[in-house]
Amino acid sequence: MKNKTLVFLLLFCGYPFIGKSQNAIFPKGIEHVIIIGLDGTSSDGIRMANMPYTQKLIQTGAVKRNVRTVMPSSSSPNWASMFMGAGTEAHGIIDNDWGRADYTLPPIVSMEDGLFPTIFGWLRKNNPAAEIGVVYQWSGFGRLFEKSAVNYDKNMPNEKATTNTFCNYIENKKPTLGFMHIDHIDDIGHEFGHATPNYYDALHSIDSLIGQVQKSIQKAGIQETTLLIITADHGGVGYGHGGATVEEAEITMILNGNSIKKGYSIQQQVYTYDLAATIAFALKIIPPYVWTGRPIKSAFKGFKEPDNLYLGKTMIPYPRIEPWKNLYADAGGLFIGKQPKVQIKTMAESAKTYYTLDGTLPTLKSKLYQNEFTLNESTVVNSFSIDDKGNTSLPSTAYFRIVPQNYRPGVQVKYYDGNKQGWNQLPYFNLLKSLENWDNYEFEIDRNKVNSFLNNGNSTFALQLESNIKIDSTGDYTFYIRSDDGSKLFIDNKEVVNNNGDHGVIEKNGTITLTKGIHLIRVDYYNGSGGFWLNVLYKGPGIVKQIIAADKLLAP
């Protein structure tokens, strides 16, 4: 009776029991696992870019489009979690500054190399004869695995050299486990922005390298026994990542091979740290107890979704309101002397999209989107999608601002050069002399104009932006600043919002009571180094949160 109880408990725990003299329940026919890691590749990128090789892998394999990253949504924590089968709280790699001799949180357990156990080290321990190799473009990946565990370890300078080296390795060594890391897409995201034409073009070029790896698997004669996995570490917003947004913290994972279901959409919830357990499952290895990741069994032939799977209300992709977001800018835009045409694209399968034009959140009683429509005044458009199973999306918002052709820009801008100062806080503007002055329609940075002043790698500058804001009703108003780096907002020379200091794009807010009429509004801004961003929003009586539109800003 005791033995029966033990067997039941082992099976109930969700992972097949195995001993040297027992047969386990594992996928059949997998002798090789090849992983292609695309750094900085968002689910939006996989969905929107022209990637024929990748799309064919999805059509003939299994896909999970909303794999959740660990936080922060940065490279080191997530690559570590993927191959260590657990989150940051277990392995201690909490940011990109982590080093083997420079950390604050030690791993809860470590192997010979002092690292939390990775799939590379665990495979070596369980199969000493295994051929294991890693080829990576980002040198930082080299500190995230046990060097003693791999037969082949190469850091290459660019994506093409990385792919060529990895393909030669596959053809010559036929690895049990091989991993290739491509950093090119992340570089493009940081330089040109995520979800931009340059970003999608980069994914298109990388897609051909994925096809090259596929051909090498065929040349090696191991296609019938290989599990190929495409994955990423994080997505991005604007020029960066690391935050807690869907764009940053959800990625797509694709599994393909003879053992994988074809055209299958994985239902079970998946996290980046489930990758290690999935590799172990494919290679018939019981993972160490300290791993928290679970194998994605439902992607494999002969395995169903978990019996205790609870889907609840699954979040589906939100609709895209065109013009769509650009970098950190919200959807919509400023239209001078013309009426915008609004298109709403439903991104989820078998879904309908509803929208509102008054800034309120839409419901099933709102307007059903069917055709493009035109706006003739500044409007906040909200939309959401719902599929035939009742699953809904997050709301999607666009801010459309419209002014006549001859409308006078209402924001005066002063530019200050900070090349010699090296600011890490807002400067004392009364001690500075502006180098350039111009007018804006709204509180934003004219990137082309500012870039024309920056040279020799200098990106330190400051701005003062001043206007008069028209307040239609007396009441409490909340103002919001999104900036990279620091900023402050003043109404009638009183500080309302403090978003000072060096940081990425973050939003801060403050509230003030204003009377009906005209009030002086000023934003002080500086950029210490790297990328820069600024926009200002508000809400108040009868006004939903929105960008302060140009038709509410009058020249001082």
Looking at the structure, do residues 394 and 416 belong to the same domain, yes or no?
no
**Whole-number pLDDT of residue 5:** 42
Q: Which pTM value belongs to this model? A: 0.82
Looking at the structure, do residues 162 and 267 belong to the same domain, yes or no?
yes
pLDDT value at 261 more than 90: yes
pLDDT value at 329 more than 90: no
Query: What band does 24 get if pLDDT is binned at 50, 70 and 90?
Result: low
Buried b (16+ CB within 10 A) or exposed e, 159-183: bbebbbbbbebbbeebbbbbbbbbb
CATH number, domain of 549, equals: 2.60.120.1560
Looking at the structure, do residues 265 and 187 belong to the same domain, yes or no?
yes
Q: Calculate the average pLDDT of the chain.
A: 93
Alpha-carbon Rg for the chain, nearest whole angstrom, is 27
Residue 23 placed within a domain: no
Domain final position from 375, 403, 431: 403
Looking at the structure, do residues 342 and 240 belong to the same domain, yes or no?
no
Looking at the structure, do residues 149 and 236 belong to the same domain, yes or no?
yes
Residue 465 and residue 443: Cα distance in Å, rounded? 7
Domain final position from 387, 403, 419: 403
CATH number, domain of 75, equals: 3.40.720.10
Q: What is the pLDDT of residues 53-96, one digit of tens each?
A: 999 999 999 999 999 999 999 999 999 999 999 999 999 999 99
Residue 415: how many CA atoms within 13 Å on its side-chain side? Answer: 20
Residue 240 placed within a domain: yes
Domain final position from 247, 269, 299: 299
pLDDT value at 7 more than 60: no
Taking the alpha carbons of 354, 359, 365, 366 in that order, is the dihedral positive or negative?
Answer: negative
Residue 338 placed within a domain: yes
Q: What is the pLDDT of residues 331-358, one digit of tens each?
A: 999 999 999 999 999 999 899 999 999 9
Residue 279 placed within a domain: yes
pLDDT value at 19 more than 50: no
Average pLDDT, stretch 208-224? Answer: 98
Residue 40 and residue 76: Cα distance in Å, rounded? 12
- Pairing assessment for the beta strands 487-491 and 494-499 based on DSSP bridges: antiparallel
Average pLDDT, stretch 426-435? Answer: 94
Q: What is the pLDDT of residues 397-420, one digit of tens each?
A: 999 999 999 999 999 999 999 887
Looking at the structure, do residues 295 and 336 belong to the same domain, yes or no?
no
Residue 15 placed within a domain: no
Query: What band does 20 get if pLDDT is binned at 50, 70 and 90?
Result: very low
Looking at the structure, do residues 382 and 430 belong to the same domain, yes or no?
no
pLDDT value at 320 more than 90: yes
Residue 115 and residue 92: Cα distance in Å, rounded? 9
pLDDT value at 512 more than 80: yes
- CB atoms < 10 A from the CB of 91, how many? 30
Looking at the structure, do residues 99 and 202 belong to the same domain, yes or no?
yes
pLDDT value at 15 more than 60: no
Looking at the structure, do residues 383 and 519 belong to the same domain, yes or no?
no
Three-state DSSP at 117 gives coil
Looking at the structure, do residues 106 and 205 belong to the same domain, yes or no?
yes
**Whole-number pLDDT of residue 397:** 96
CATH number, domain of 380, equals: 2.60.40
Looking at the structure, do residues 52 and 193 belong to the same domain, yes or no?
yes
Burial category of 428 from C-beta neighbours within 10 Å (exposed 0-12, middle 13-18, buried 19 and up): exposed
Q: What is the pLDDT of residues 91-129, one digit of tens each?
A: 999 999 899 888 899 999 998 788 999 999 999 999 999
| 3-class SS letters over 75-110 | HHHHHHHHHHCCCHHHHCCCCCCCECCECCCCCCCC
pLDDT value at 23 more than 80: no
Domain that holds residue 103: 29-299
Residue 116 placed within a domain: yes
- CB atoms < 10 A from the CB of 434, how many? 14
Token digits of residue 25? 């329940």
Residue 493 placed within a domain: yes
pLDDT value at 457 more than 80: no
Looking at the structure, do residues 114 and 231 belong to the same domain, yes or no?
yes
Burial category of 376 from C-beta neighbours within 10 Å (exposed 0-12, middle 13-18, buried 19 and up): exposed
Give the least confident one: 35-44, 264-273, 408-417, 451-460: 451-460
Residue 201 placed within a domain: yes
Query: What band does 266 get if pLDDT is binned at 50, 70 and 90?
Result: very high
Q: How many domains does the chain have?
A: 3
Query: What band does 438 get if pLDDT is binned at 50, 70 and 90?
Result: very high
Q: What is the pLDDT of residues 368-399, one digit of tens each?
A: 999 999 999 999 999 999 999 999 999 999 99
Could you give the percent of the chain with pLDDT greater than 90? 83
